Homo-oligomer: A and B are copies of this chain.
Amino acid sequence: MEFKASQIAELLQGEVVGDENTVVSGVSKIEEGQPQTIAFLANPKYEHYIYETKASIVLVNNTFEPSDKISATLIKVEDAYQAVASLLQMYDEMRPKPRGIEEPSFISKSAKLGEKIYIGAFAYIGSNVSIGNNVSIYPQVYIGDNVKIADNVTIYPGVKVYRDCKLGENVVIHAGSVIGADGFGFAPSNHKDYKKVPQIGNVVLEDNVEIGANTCIDRATMGSTIIRHGVKLDNLIQVAHNSEIGSNTVMAAQTGVAGSTKIGKDCMFGGQVGISGHLSVADGVKLAAQTGVASSIRKENEILQGTPAFNISDFRKSYVHFRKLHILANKIDELEKELKNLKS
Contact = CB atoms under 8 A, between A and B. Distances in A.
Q: Quickly give the copy total for this chain.
A: 3
Contacts of A317: 325-326
A320 B325 CA distance: 9
Interface residues of A, number: 107
A138 B126 CA distance: 11
Interface stretch (A14-22, A69-77, A247-255): A247-255
B139 A142 contact: yes
A274 B272 contact: yes
Q: Is the interface of A mostly helix, strand, loop or mixed?
A: loop
A235 interface: yes
B124 A139 contact: yes
Nearest to A324: B318
B252 A254 contact: no
Interface of A: 27-29, 32, 81-82, 84-85, 88-89, 91-92, 102, 104, 106, 120-122, 124, 138-140, 142, 144, 156-158, 160, 162, 172, 174-176, 178, 181-182, 184, 186-187, 192-200, 208, 210, 212-214, 216, 218, 221-223, 230, 232, 234-236, 238, 240, 247-248, 250, 252-254, 256, 258, 266, 270-272, 274, 276, 289-290, 292, 294, 307-308, 310, 314, 317-326, 328-329, 331-332, 335-336, 338-339, 342-343
A236 B234 contact: no
A335 to B, nearest CB: 5
Given A216-B214, A235-B238, A253-B238, A198 B343 contact: no
